Amino acid sequence: MRQDKVSRFCSLGVGINAKTSRPTASNAGFRLKTLKRHLKEKERWGSKAAEALQKQLREQQQQEAADSKLLQQQLQQKQQQQQQLLLQQKHIAKQFDNEIGDTQRAMKELQQKCNSLEAEFLSLLQSVLQLLQQQLQQPAAVEKELAAAFEKQMQQIKNEVIFKIQNLETKSENKETLGDAWRQIGMQPPHAVTKLGV
């Protein structure tokens, strides 16, 4: 009976100590195991979180690399398009300058031809005046002879003038217009050129 009371008292003592701030050896061991278990769980959670972050970082780096490569390709395409447009602009400008030069030379040649025709007409007029003066001074006997010579000379000069005018028209028809350079590369000529009818 006495031993049972002692054991009951000891068990009550252990229960009392468990409720107080003084941990017993068994309670301290339990808390240590609990802390170790919590620590392992935190380590596992931290390891999983680190793996997830590393995976997310790798995916982000791969996405950034793909985006960067795509941007570089788009930039290269834009640069190539700009270079092609620049080359086309240079070609069109050069062709336009050449056409302007050809047109100016053709206009200069035409002006020279016109001046030459004008000089020939003046020479013809002077010849006519001279023949008229000679006709007035000559007797009537030679009037028919002078008239025939005058008509022959007039016909010869007329034929030469017509021949030169036909040559000028043929050269003008065979010459390229200002809008041909744009049409040859599949583009519409500027409005300022189309207004000229070319």
Each residue's pLDDT tens digit, 49-89: 888 888 898 999 999 889 988 999 999 999 999 899 888 88
What is this structure's pTM?
0.35
CB atoms within 10 A of CB 106: 14
Bigger pLDDT: 71 vs 163: 71
- Running DSSP on this structure, what letter comes out for residue 198? -
The C-alpha atoms of residue 99 and residue 119 are separated, in whole angstroms, by 30
90: Cα within 13 Å, side-chain hemisphere: 6
Bigger pLDDT: 130 vs 173: 130
The C-alpha atoms of residue 185 and residue 18 are separated, in whole angstroms, by 99
| Lowest-pLDDT choice from 37-46, 100-109, 130-139 | 130-139
Q: Which pLDDT value is given to residue 15?
A: 42
Mean pLDDT taken over the chain: 73
11-51 per-position pLDDT tens digit? 444 444 444 445 566 777 788 888 888 888 888 888 888 88
CB atoms within 10 A of CB 181: 20
Instruction: Show the CA angle centred on residue 122, arms to residues 121 and 128, nearest 5°.
Output: 90
The C-alpha atoms of residue 111 and residue 123 are separated, in whole angstroms, by 18
